[in-house]
Structures are given as C-alpha cells and as structure tokens.
Amino acid sequence: MKFAVNKGWSNGRARSGVLQLGSCPFPIQTPALLLTTRKGLPAFISPDLLTSSLPSPDSHLLQFSPLHFLEGISPKTISNIGGLHQMLSLHQHIFAAVPRDSIIALPEHDSTNKYGASFQTPGGRLLIKPAEYVELVSSMKPDFWVTLADEVPAWVSDKRNRTSVDRTLRWLDDCLSLNKTGTTIFGSIVGGSSIEERHRCAQEVAQRNVSGYWIGGFGLGESMDERAALLTAVTDNLPEDMPRHVSGLGLPEEVLQGVAAGIDLFDSTYVYHLTLGGFALTFPLERNKGDNADYQLSDSGGDDMKINLKATIYRKDTSPIVESCNCFTCQNHTKAYLNHLFNVHEMLAQTLLEIHNTHQYLGFFCSIRKAIEEGKFEQFRRNFVESRRECLFAAASSD
C-alpha cells in the first residue's frame, strides 16, 4: 500500500491525499468514501452494475465485515476460490475488512469480555476472538483489514472505557503477531468519550508497526459536539503520512467534521438508509449563501438535500431526480417511474436509487477534495452547514 498526503494547502488539519492499494490499478484520491456492503456487495447493486454504472475509481473502495460470512458460504470455500476478489469477480476493487458493520454487526459492549468482542447480528449474538478473526480475514484476502476492537458507547464508566483501550491494544498485538502473510493492517484506536483515553490509545497504536489507523467507537450515540475534540485528540497523536479511517460518521455534516479533524477514509451507511426509505439525494454541490431563501419545505418529507420519491407530488414528474446528474438512473429514468416502482414495492426501485445516491455522495466527496485543494475547505464546510440551517429555519418560520 502507498499513501501520500498532498502538502501545500493550509486547511488546518484537513488534508487531501492519494492512496494506491493492491488490486486497484487506479490511485484513489482522499478524503474518500468506502461503500458499505453486505458480504462484499452494496445492498441493491449487482456486480455488473457496480462496474458499469458507478464512477471509477471513486466507487472501487468497498467495506465489509468478516462477520457477514459467519452465515452461509464457509470461509474455507471462499479461501478455496481464492478470496473475495475472486468470488465476486471484482478484481480491480479494494476490499477493506472492518469488524464492525453499522447495519448488521453492531458491537455489544456488554457481552464483550477478555476473550473476544461481541457483536449483535441477525444470526444472534456472536463472540469473536482475535485468532478466529484473523483466520476469517485471511480466508477473504482483503486489501487491508482493521484489527479487532472493543468499541464502547459514550456513556460507559471510566473503568469500562479504560478496559476497552487495554483490550483493543492487546488484540492489536495479537492480530499483528498472527499476521503471518504480511497483509496490510490498520490499527484500531478507541477510547470512548474520554480525551485522555483517546490520547493514550492513539499514542500506543502509533508505536505499532501498522500501515494505517482505524478510529472506532464513534457513531454509537455520542453527540457531534463532543466528538470534535475526541477526533482531534486522536489525529494529533498520529503520524501525518499514514492514512486515517473512521467508521460511524455517516451524515454529510459528520463527514465534514471528520475531514476537518484530518480523517482520510470514511465508511457510511447514509446511502443505504436513504435508499431504504425511498429518499434521493439532490445535493446542490455548488452552493452559495442566500440561494435557499426561497426554499419551501414541502409536506413530502424531503428537504434541500433530498427528496422523498414515494411522495405523490412525483407521480407525474417526468424529470430525472437531478437534471445535471450523470448517473444511470438520471440518464434513463424519471421520478414518475421511480415513484411507481416504490409504490408497487419493486426491487428495481432500490437498485436504481442506490446507484443514484452513491453517485451523489461520491460527488460530495469530490467537492470536499476540490475545496481542500483550493485551500477553501473551512469556508466550504461553513457554507454547507449554515445553508442547511438556513433552509430548515426558513421552512420552520414560513408556517
């Protein structure tokens, strides 16, 4: 793996970089989005559509949890096939193995013990030990993987929080020593909502021989306000030239917060949840202050960033979701058709919508990178957050 930060733009901690990894022949620009998958594929997009309908190479980063594979096809079979890339026939994609998955493998801190980490999955509660985890990962041959962590939410006791850091460090060392084949490892950093513990964990992990850092324990109920300090408590203690990956920061504002703290890689379930609900992103990516003064919040449940395709106002709307969008869905289909598909519960609705939403969200990341490269990230972030507030304020006060 090769990672380099582009120097020379003063954006505070925010940085842009280039990642070159394993199977993917194209360099990936960061900050970048990893697409959430279940067993290696996005929820509603088949492998052929993944390559033909999503932008390249932005859409080549795929995140999965090895725990997805405890049900169904056995890891041994995956190993026999030659790993995930072979099994899914996605040879130019980058697979990142992360133990926790915000949809179906949620950390169960109450059941985690000194032997292993517990997760709540559709198949019940599972306890995974480091050795088992490493074995699972090695059969899948991801491009990089994250060590097993004891993630705890913001409200646990100090003692429990300290234990989680100790355990995570111990498991990190276990994973490193079990890593016979020299694969690319990201060390896990936890610490809950304690600045000191975040410091401690980050400093410890920074001393290990890893290729990057994964920051866990977020998206588990902490508030955005307390998170900023916790993020910087970690990133300030990490070497500048190594990639930082965070899970659990899904919303656009949260992503901006992460970028501001110096994060390079994000996995997010935002697209998945929007798609499930029938919401289509309509991000106006070039946004000026004051543009939204006339915005009317309709009863349809949408807002300035997304629309609810199930709403009856779209029944006869023959325009695409976003006029200027280049995605397959906007190039080929209308809101009216999607509205119909959602109303009759047809599979195609979610396929088309996930394609569009992924496109849009990847476009958002592209704007972030552009803003950083122009030295205007803080302004971009401020504009974004403030115009969101303005819209909601204007809508609320227009009643």
Partner 1 sequence: MALKFEVLGRFNRARAAQLTLPHYLCQTPLFMPVGTQGTIKGLTKNQLEEIGCQIILGNTYHLALRPTSELIDELGGLHKFMNWPRALLTDSGGFQMVSLLHLADITEKGVTFQSPVDGKPMLLTPEESIQIQNRIGADIIMALDDVVRTTITGPRIEEAMYRTLRWIDRCIAAHKRPNEQNLFGIVQGGLDPVLRDICVRGLVERNLPGYAIGGLAGGEDKDSFWRVVAQCTAALPEDKPRYVMGVGYPLDIVVCSALGADMYDCVYPTRTARFGTALVPEGVLKLKHQAMANDIRPIDPMCECMLSRDLHSSIVEGRFPEFVCKFLQTMFPKGDVPEWVCNAMEVAGIDISSCCREMRFDVDKSSTL
E strands in the chain: 2-6, 16-20, 28-30, 32-36, 61-64, 94-97, 106-107, 117-121, 124-128, 144-146, 185-189, 212-215, 244-247, 265-268, 279-281, 306-308
325 known member of a binding site: yes
Nearer to partner 1 by Cβ, of 293 and 347: the residue is 347
CB of 70 to partner 1, least distance (A): 14
- 341 binds partner 1 per the rule CB under 8 A: yes
- 323 binds partner 1 per the rule CB under 8 A: no
Q: Which residue has the tokens 């925010």?
A: 14
CB of 315 to partner 1, least distance (A): 7
Tell me which stretch binds partner 1 (CB under 8 A): 10-18, 98-106, 107-115, 337-345: 337-345
Distance CA(38)–CA(70), nearest Å, equals 12
Phi and psi, residue 347, nearest 5°: -55, -35
Q: Find, among 45, 172, 171, 153, the residue nearest to 116 by Cα.
A: 171
Nearer to partner 1 by Cβ, of 333 and 369: the residue is 333
> DSSP assignment, residue 309?
T
Number of residues that bind partner 1 (CB under 8 A): 30
Q: Which residues in the 58-87 window bind partner 1 by CB under 8 A?
A: 72-74, 76-77, 80-81
Distance CA(147)–CA(137), nearest Å, equals 10
Interhelix angle 195-206/158-178, nearest 10 degrees? 10
- 352 binds partner 1 per the rule CB under 8 A: yes
CB of 342 to partner 1, least distance (A): 11
> DSSP assignment, residue 10?
-
Interacting residues of 218 by C-beta distance below 8 A, sequence separation 6+: 227, 230, 231, 246, 247, 248, 249
Tell me which stretch binds partner 1 (CB under 8 A): 97-105, 155-163, 219-227, 344-352: 344-352
Nearer to partner 1 by Cβ, of 280 and 371: the residue is 280
CB of 335 to partner 1, least distance (A): 11
175 known member of a binding site: no
Nearer to partner 1 by Cβ, of 123 and 375: the residue is 123
Tell me which stretch binds partner 1 (CB under 8 A): 130-138, 235-243, 248-256, 332-340: 332-340
Q: Which residue has the tokens 């913001």?
A: 154
Among 39, 199, 273, 340, binds partner 1 (CB under 8 A): 340
- 388 binds partner 1 per the rule CB under 8 A: no
Nearer to partner 1 by Cβ, of 51 and 184: the residue is 51
Q: Which residue has the tokens 């915005």?
A: 295
327 known member of a binding site: yes
- 109 binds partner 1 per the rule CB under 8 A: no
Distance CA(276)–CA(34), nearest Å, equals 18
Nearer to partner 1 by Cβ, of 77 and 113: the residue is 77
Interior/surface letters 55-94, b for 16+ CB within 10 angstroms, e for the rest:
eebbbbbbbbbbbbbbeeeebeebbeeebbbebbebeebb
356 known member of a binding site: yes
Q: Which residues in the 354-383 window bind partner 1 by CB under 8 A?
A: none
Catalog residues that contact partner 1 under the rule CB under 8 A. 46, 48-49, 52, 72-74, 76-77, 80-81, 315-316, 318, 328, 332-334, 336-337, 339-341, 343-344, 346-348, 351-352
* Binding residue positions: 325, 327, 330, 356
* Binding residue positions for Zn(2+): 325, 327, 330, 356
